[in-house]
Structure 1
Amino acid sequence: MAALGLLLLGLAPAASAAALAEGESGSGETYTIATDTTFAPFEFRDASGELTGIDIDIMEAIAEDQGFEVEWQSLGFNAALQAVQSGQADGVIAGMGITDERAEIFDFSEPYFTGTLTLATTEDNAEAIAGWEDLEGKTLAVKTGSLSEEEAKTQQEQYGFEITALDQTTTMVESVKSGSADALMDDYPIIAYGVEQGSGLVTIGEEIPTGDYGFAVNKGQNAELLEKFDTGLAALQESGEYDQIVDTYLGGEDDGVDKSSFTGLIVTAMPALLSGLGNTLLVTGISFVLAMVLGLAFGFMKIASNPVLRWVAITFISIFRGTPILVWAFFFYFGLPQLIGTPVNIWVAGVMTLTFNGAAYIAEIVRGAVQSVDPGQAEASRSLGLGHGKTMQKVVLPQAFKMMTPSLINQLVIMLKDSSLLLAIGFAELLYQAQQIYAANFRVTEVLLIAALLYFIAITALTQLANYVDRKVNK
C-alpha cells in the first residue's frame, strides 16, 4: 500500500485548472478546448499517439494566427459538450453540426466545414452499384439514429432496398465487406478518409448535403474566443492554409505507402501497436510485482491463527474476486478522484485495478499451496525443536513455492490479458491502440489479427521466460 501511495504521488498530474492558470500567466492566453476521442478525420490519434485531425489542425492554426494557446481535452463527444456547459472547457470543436436545438445552448462560430452524406460499397461491387437506382432488392447499412438513417428511410420507398441500422461506422464497413450488406451510407469525410487509409471501399453516387459544422462556446460566454476563431478562420481560408489542412486528410497528400495492402497497414499501424504493447507489458509487470506482495500478505493472513487477520483477508479476497475488474477500473479512475479531491493518473488507476484484482487471486494460490504441504512435515520439524517461523521458512514455504509457481505463471498471463480491459478508461494499451487505428481506417479484422498476433508473441515469450526462471529456482 505504501508503494502504491508513492506511485500515486509521483504520477498524479497537476489539475487542469493549475495548468490553465500557468498558461494565462504567460505571454498569451490559454483556452481549454474540448473535443471527441475518435472521429476521423476530424479528431483522432496518429501512429505516435498524438491528437490530430482536421479540427485539431484548424484550431491550432487559428491559435497561432490569433496569438493564444490551446489546452486539449479529449473526452468523447457528449462529455465534451458537458465540459463546456459546466465551465470545465472554454469551447468545443468536434465535427459538431450547427442545429437550432444546439443554438439554444451554444453560440456557434461561422461554419468551418459543410457536411455531406455519401454511399459507399466495396471495389468489387462498384460496377453493379453506382447509385440509388442500383440498390433495389439490396441491403443498405446506416448508423442508428443518424442523418444517414433518416435519409435512407426517405429514399427506401422509391428505390426498394432493405435497411440495416448498426451502431458504429466500423461495424457498417465490416458488414459491407463481409457481404451482410451491399452498401452503406455515412458522412462523406469519414468514408473518404477511410478510403485514403485503405479501407477497401469506394464512394458511389452524388453527395447529399446535411449541414454545417461549427466551433461552439457556452451561450453568452467567451465571445472574445468566438471572435478570435472567426477572424482566424477567415485568415486561414484567405491564405489557402485551410484547403491544405482539409486536403491532408481527404486525399490531398500521398506519403508513398500503399495503405490498401496488408504490408502498408503494418507499416502505418505497427508504431502505435508496439507503443501499446510496451504499455501493456509495463503495466502488467508493475501490477504483478505489487500483486505478489499483497497476495503473499493476504494469503498468510487468511491462514493465520488471529481471527481479525483472517477476517481482513477474507473480506479483501471476497470483494476483489467477487466483482468485475471493469467496475474497479472505473472506480479508481472516475470515482476515486471525487473522494480524494485530486485527479488520479491513468497509469495509477490501471496499476491499482490490476494489482488488487490479481492480489486477491494470488492470495488464494498462496493459501492453497501452503495448506497442501503435508502437515506431518511441520509437526516433524517442530518435534526437532524448530519454532513456527523456522518451520515455515525452512520446510513449508520451499515446498509451497514449488507447487504455486505454475499457478503464479498462469496468473501473470491472465493479468496481461486483463490489461486489455483498461481500454474502457482510455489507457493506451495494445487493444486501445488497435481500436484507435481501425476507427480511422475501418480495417477491423486485419488490425485485430495483428494485435492478436502481438498478444500471442508476448504471452508465449513471457510464459517461456517464467518457465525458465521456475526451472532455475525450483530445480
Structure 2
Amino acid sequence: MNFEQIVPSMPYILQGIWVTLQIILIAGLLGFAIGIILSLFKIGRIPFLRWFADGYTSIFRGTPLVLQLMIIYYASPQLFGVQIEAYTAAILSFGLNSAAYISEIIRAGIQAVDKGQREAAMALGVPYNKMMKDVILPQAMKNILPALMNEFITLTKESAIVTVIGVTDIMRRAYIVGSDKFSFLEPLLFAGLIYYLMVLVLTFAGKWVEGRMRRSD
C-alpha cells in the first residue's frame, strides 16, 4: 500500500463529509417527523390510519434501501414525469426509509410510558393532542434516545450507497480518486476511516446527551 499517492487527493475526499452530513441531517429530520406521525397513527383509534402506518412500515422495512433509492431516482420520470435530482432522491429515500424504523421505535417508547400518566392527564381533562405533546412524548423520548441514536448511526453508514446514483459523497469521491490513481484500496480505506470517526463522534455525542437527560430526571 502506498498512501502517499492519495495525499494530494485527501482534501477532495474530505469535502464529501459536508455532502454526507447534509443528506443524513435532512433525511434524519424528515424521517423523525414522519416517524412521529406514523407512530401516532399506529396507536390511534382510526383503523384506516393504523393499516396505512403498518403497511408503510412493512413495505419500507421489507425491501432493500438501495432498491427504494433507485426507484425514486431512476423511475421518477415514469412516476412523476420529471427527473428528481440525485441529491433530492437520496434525502427522500433515506428519510422515508428511516421513518419506518423510527415509527416503531417511538411507538414502543410511547407504549412503555406508565399508563397512569395517561389516565391522570385524562382525569384532569387534558386534551389528547396536548397530553401527547406535553406529557407522553417527552417521557417516551428519554426512553428511546439510545435506539434513535443507533438509527442515526445506521443512517450515517448506509448513506454511502448514494454513490450508485452519482452523489459526490465521501464514498463517490474515494471511488473517483481510485479510478484516477488506478489504485482503489488506499482511498477506500481512507473513506472507511472517515466513516468510522463520524460514527465514533455520534456515539460519544449520544452518550453525552443520554447522560445529561438521565441527570435531569
Question: Structure 2 length as normaliser, TM-score?
Answer: 0.91
Alignment equivalent of 2:111, drawn from 367, 371, 389: 371
Alignment equivalent of 2:174, drawn from 434, 437, 443: 434
Greater RCO structure (CA 8 Å; 6+ sep): 2
Query: How big is the shift at 1:448?
Result: 1.9
Distance 1:441 1:300 in 2: 52
The residue number in structure 2 matching 1:114 is none
Query: How big is the shift at 1:264?
Result: 3.8
Q: How many residues align?
A: 215
Cα pair distance change 1:278/1:394, threshold 3 Å: closer
Q: Deviations over 1:225-247 (max 9, x none)?
A: xxxxxxxxxxxxxxxxxxxxxxx
The residue number in structure 2 matching 1:416 is 156
1:458 equivalent to 2:206? Answer no
Query: How big is the shift at 1:357?
Result: 0.6
The code of the aligned residue for 2:165 comes to I
The residue number in structure 1 matching 2:85 is 345
Distance 1:404 1:369 in 2: 6
Q: Deviations over 1:102-155 (max 9, x none)?
A: xxxxxxxxxxxxxxxxxxxxxxxxxxxxxxxxxxxxxxxxxxxxxxxxxxxxxx
Residues 207-246 of structure 1 mapped to structure 2, 5 A cutoff: none
The residue number in structure 2 matching 1:388 is 128
Report the aligned-residue RMSD: 1.9
Residues 150-165 of structure 1 mapped to structure 2, 5 A cutoff: none
Q: Deviations over 1:65-85 (max 9, x none)?
A: xxxxxxxxxxxxxxxxxxxxx
Distance 2:45 2:133 in 1: 17
Query: How big is the shift at 1:323?
Result: 0.7
In the alignment, structure 1 segments of 5+ residues that lack a partner are: 1-199, 201-260
Identical aligned pairs, as a percentage? 34
Query: How big is the shift at 1:472?
Result: 4.0
Higher helix share: 2
The code of the aligned residue for 1:317 comes to T
State which structure, 1 or 2, has the greater radius of gyration over its C-alpha atoms.
1
Q: Deviations over 1:184-226 (max 9, x none)?
A: xxxxxxxxxxxxxxxx8xxxxxxxxxxxxxxxxxxxxxxxxxx
Q: Deviations over 1:386-443 (max 9, x none)?
A: 3433432343222101011111111111111111111111111111111112123233
SS at 1:343's partner residue?
coil
The code of the aligned residue for 1:395 comes to V
Cα pair distance change 1:425/1:405, threshold 3 Å: same
Question: Structure 1 length as normaliser, TM-score?
Answer: 0.43
In the alignment, structure 2 segments of 5+ residues that lack a partner are: none
Distance 1:341 1:391 in 2: 43
The code of the aligned residue for 1:361 comes to Y
Distance 2:192 2:129 in 1: 46
Query: How big is the shift at 1:283?
Result: 0.7
Distance 1:388 1:431 in 2: 46
